[in-house]
Amino acid sequence: MEKTMKNLNLATFAKKYGTVVAFVIICIFFSSQTEVFLTHSNILTVLRQISMLAILGAGLTVVMITGRIDLSTGYGTSLLGIFCAALMVDFGLPMPMAVLLTLLGGALIGLFNGYCISYLGIPDFIGTLASGFLLSGINQAYTKGHPISGLPSEFNIFGNTNFLGIPTMIYIMVFWLIIIAVVLSKTRFGRHTYAIGGNKEAAVMSGVNVKFNSMLGYVFCGVGMGITALVLTSRMGSAHVTAGDTYLMQAIATVYLGGTAFKEGEPNLAGTILGALILGVLKNGMTLMNVEYFYQDIAQGIVILLAVIITSLQRNRKK
């Protein structure tokens, strides 16, 4: 009996914290292969590199907790970067106003997605994919494929300045993660979000406004797009038409990878942060080891595939 209990405890630990152990092993491996991996400057480099992915992934986590997905995040980030730059460069708006309108624009994109899916009944996969193409088309129509440069110098604060030796974008990432953590753990909306993801029918029977709360989840995702657009555009020093497109699959992969930790197959914020760290450490460590970029893609692809398989197995086991 004692042996059986030990095996059960080990199995439970592996399910909840196996991904954490894997992350530690990855860090130990890279630190043994290169002396600079665990240095203060390189740790800041990793955090800076994952900041935009973590910001976008955190907003997407809120949506995916409800059992839905948003495939417009990358295109939305690109459009919002162009939108912010255009407000400052083409229309001469002051930076604070442009920043606020960009965040509002992100919230409106999320509101549009959420309304179409929650109230019009459009499937989330098709609805957000169509929305993504719409946003990309608007982006291309306005810019004709050309970037917008000449941003005001004060806009550098989001992606190219430091405070107390730490990049400002890391502070922005931490601030947004804290907001999402508080919203999910301390508010009625957060409790309802988890209830919808756990059992939609039971949530309805309990009096949860499933449509409204699901739509609000997309609004948080849209604001995450806006913040990511600000940091990305500031970091690059100009707004590029497709700058945020590649973050779509990375953000989804981050949430799926995080789903293998802590909640056994379910999206959660702590897991998303861990997922972003794993992808960031993999890329950083292999770069330090001078591994060719295509092998880096292969390694990340394998990790993501394993994460999806493990997440699927965990969900099937729960059912």
pTM exceeds 0.95, yes or no? no
Q: Could you give the CA distance from residue 165 to residue 19 in angstroms, rounded to a whole number? A: 30
122: region left, alpha or beta (phi > 0 left; psi from -120 to 50 alpha): beta
- Which residues, including other chains, have CB under 8 Å from residue 220's CB and lie 6 or more apart? 59, 62, 63, 110, 180, 183
> Where are the domains positioned within the chain?
50-245
Tokens 């229309």 belong to residue: 91
Q: Could you give the CA distance from residue 300 to residue 236 in angstroms, rounded to a whole number? A: 24
pLDDT at position 12 is 61
Residues of the chain with pLDDT under 70: 1-16, 264-265, 311-319
264: region left, alpha or beta (phi > 0 left; psi from -120 to 50 alpha): left
pLDDT at position 21 is 83
pLDDT at position 264 is 67
Task: Kindly report the backbone phi and psi dihedral angles of residue 162, in degrees, each rounded to the nearest multiple of 5, phi listed first.
Answer: -120, 155
DSSP letter at 8 equals: H
pLDDT at position 8 is 43
pLDDT at position 23 is 87
Tokens 């995916």 belong to residue: 64
Q: Are strands 166-167 and 162-163 parallel, antiparallel or unpaired?
A: antiparallel
162 bridge partner residues: 167
pLDDT at position 318 is 59
